[in-house]
Amino acid sequence: MHTTRYHLKDIILLALIGIIFGVIYYAGDFLYNGFTILLTPFGLGPMANDLTMGLWCMAGPLAAMLLQRPGAAFFGEFLGAAGEMFLGGQWGAANLISGFVQGIATELGFTFTGYRRYNWFSLTLTTLTATLVTFGWDWFRNGYAHFSGQLDLLLLGARFVSIFLFSGVLVKLISNLLVRAHVIKTVRS
């Protein structure tokens, strides 16, 4: 049985993940704005959100893979969003709401495995839950309900690919590198 207690080193690691990803998320704001400018003339401006969503959902799965404890994905994601807000991210305090939703979404994938598996399977589950939950949130918050069914499917597909690449593949590669560098002991399968 893996411990569910957080020790000081775990809290420090979560804080570091929050700070590092706060900076990454803040930089992602500029990427989002660039995609919006490029895609709007083609009627695809909303797709900027979906293309960058994977970047904004990385802190949670990485925290879960490194700490392997219940709540790590939620706290990692929420702290990353808080870091972006404190750096002056363009959405201000709304980042906390997004971080809350994305934190729950990324935590669900690990919850469904009973916090026993930290591997490709759990990352794939997290990719699916993050895609569906965040898309559902944007359905209401960003007015996706008013788009055509065809555009919604395109946005959902783009979001899934983005989350799979950033929060799945890239997180797995980073955690594997950290295991090889002996920064963390092992990623439990």
CA 163, CA 179: separation in Å to the nearest integer?
Answer: 23
Q: For residue 175, give Cα distances in angstroms to 74, 126, 187.
A: 17, 15, 7
Q: How do residues 108-133 score in pLDDT, each as one tens digit?
A: 999 999 999 999 999 999 999 999 99
Query: 3-state DSSP call for residue 188?
Result: coil
Q: What is the mean pLDDT of residues 17-42?
A: 97
CA 44, CA 83: separation in Å to the nearest integer?
Answer: 29
Residue 8 has pLDDT above 70, yes or no: yes
Q: Which residue has the tokens 């704005």?
A: 33
Q: DSSP H helical segments within the chain, as ranges?
A: 8-39, 47-56, 59-67, 72-86, 94-111, 120-141, 149-163, 171-180
Q: How do residues 141-168 score in pLDDT, each as one tens digit?
A: 988 999 999 999 999 999 999 999 999 9
Residue 102 has pLDDT above 50, yes or no: yes
Q: How do residues 82-101 score in pLDDT, each as one tens digit?
A: 999 999 999 999 999 999 99
Q: How do residues 32-68 score in pLDDT, each as one tens digit?
A: 999 999 999 999 999 999 999 999 999 999 999 999 9
CA 107, CA 76: separation in Å to the nearest integer?
Answer: 10
